[in-house]
Structure 1
Amino acid sequence: MSQFNDRTEAEQIRESTPSVSADEVRAFLLQHPDFVASDADLIAALLPVRDEGDNVVDMQQFVIAKLQRQVRTLRDIQSDLIEASSLNSLAREQVHAAALAMLDARSFESFVEFVTSADGLARTLGLQGAAICLETAGNAAGIGVPNIRMLEPGGVGRMIGGDMPYRLVANVHGSRGLYGELAEGVQSEALVRLDFSPITPPGLLALGGAGAEQFHPDQAADLLEFLARIVERCVRLWLDLPPQQ
């Protein structure tokens, strides 16, 4: 009785399952050539390794292994791209939030406080610390605003490297001259040149990362440069400086 029921159920399954002809399968594969190429297990099943004897080398197994490696590599690249896209999206949101906060500052002092305090720009960007630096013009004194770090003439070029617009460094020991008491937690940093106006010496935006590779030389710097341009514009507006030519 049980065998009869099993046979009946099997027949019902066969009857309810749509039949696919060999021609239809072939047509589908011709229309979708990547269907097989993207499935390493299917490749191995369709192209089994043959035993041609001790004196014959079957190259098919090497072809299969190569295809499988290529498929795995493409999957890894896809995963990396998805992860990078997600991280870049998060960075954009952070930078946009920081830009709006700087533009909302009620005074020059509150703007500088936001950029340099641990609870301001650093927290918004997920960093350890941040600083604004300004070169002195010869023997001239600084502008006298607390939390702005003063550099000797030519200091920006020495820190960044000539006329480079920025420098990204991994695995560093944070400088107390830049980050103060937060320096011990700085393990990587981004140094971005600031050009406020034709009549002022150059400056520097220093961003200290808490991770050893939060900033690194291979990293894209477009968002960092955008952030620096916002800082420049805010300083020009508050100090009534002429724009760059």
Structure 2
Amino acid sequence: MSEQKPLSGGSRLTDDLRDELLSRPELVLADKDVMRALVGAHERSLGGNVIDLRGTAMKRLEGRLDQLEATHRSVIAAAYENLAGTNLIHRAVLEVLEPTDFGEFLRRLETRVAETLRLDSLRLVLEARGRDPVVERHSGLIHVVEPGFIGEYLNELTEYRAPVTLRGVIDGAGEVHGREEGHIRSEAVLALDLGAGRLPGMLVMGSAEEEQFAPRQGTDLLRFFGAVFSLTLRRWLA
């Protein structure tokens, strides 16, 4: 039977446990609950009239460590979320670049691209002055509007047009989102530069979730997708 060492209060510590703790003190140091209990026992042994500055400092350091761990977890989660978003955009870009027919390009936009980006609606809106044979041939898949409509829809008072606008759905969005308008709660509007001699366009992404597109979010990935989409669309409209 292992010899037991007396402890204050009548409790005893076995030789085996004592040897284990002495040989592997990191077991105690790595356990927050054990360390907290040891510090508490030490403070109680000092009495009520003594302030243990070391114990107070340890509590503060423990609080800071918890904050650092929480921040670390948040950073890791944000990195994974950003990586997942990047993968989705890359897959959508490949879907845009693959078609060899304009009709297939537009159909894929409303189906596979929308599914890849997890959207509830995706509409291509082009301003047009008079007749455009290419646009008219695919009028069922392109929403054609009068010149100036896009600036009004984005409530722009200057010639500057932000590449990406994230916001909740506004009044009058039904003309853009069509039959899906009833359950769309947020949208991302990608401004399209279709080159010299052509009026602007926009690609409108709609979601039934209010927080999917919010002004405080980053737009780098959507700006990249919008640039690729604009260049690809120029080729079809040339």
**Normalized against structure 2, the TM-score is what?**
0.73
Q: What's 1:184 paired with?
A: 182
Q: What's 2:9 paired with?
A: none
Give the conservation status (yes or no) of the 8 Å contact 1:133–1:205. yes
Number of equivalent positions = 215
SS at structure 2 position matched to 1:204: strand
Matched, 1:152 2:146: yes
Q: What's 1:77 paired with?
A: 71
Displacement after TM superposition at 1:69 (Å): 3.9
Identity %: 26
Alpha carbons of structure 1 residues 69 and 169: separation in structure 2 relative to 1, 3 Å: farther
The one of the two structures with greater contact order (alpha-carbon pairs below 8 A, sep at least 6) is: 2
Alpha carbons of structure 1 residues 19 and 221: separation in structure 2 relative to 1, 3 Å: same
Picking from 126, 135, 152, the partner of 1:134 is 126
Picking from 226, 235, 238, the partner of 1:237 is 235
Question: CA-atom RMSD, angstroms?
Answer: 3.5
Alpha carbons of structure 1 residues 210 and 63: separation in structure 2 relative to 1, 3 Å: farther
SS at structure 2 position matched to 1:100: helix
1:42-121 matches, cutoff 5 A? 53=49, 66-115=60-109, 117=110, 119-121=111-113
Displacement after TM superposition at 1:60 (Å): 7.5
**Normalized against structure 1, the TM-score is what?**
0.71
Letter paired with 1:237: R
Alpha carbons of structure 1 residues 11 and 234: separation in structure 2 relative to 1, 3 Å: same
Question: Quick one: distance in 2 between partners of 1:177 and 1:221?
Answer: 25
Gap runs ≥5 in structure 1: 29-35, 241-245
Alpha carbons of structure 1 residues 196 and 181: separation in structure 2 relative to 1, 3 Å: same
Give the conservation status (yes or no) of the 8 Å contact 1:128–1:182. yes
Question: Quick one: distance in 1 between partners of 2:199 and 2:146?
Answer: 10
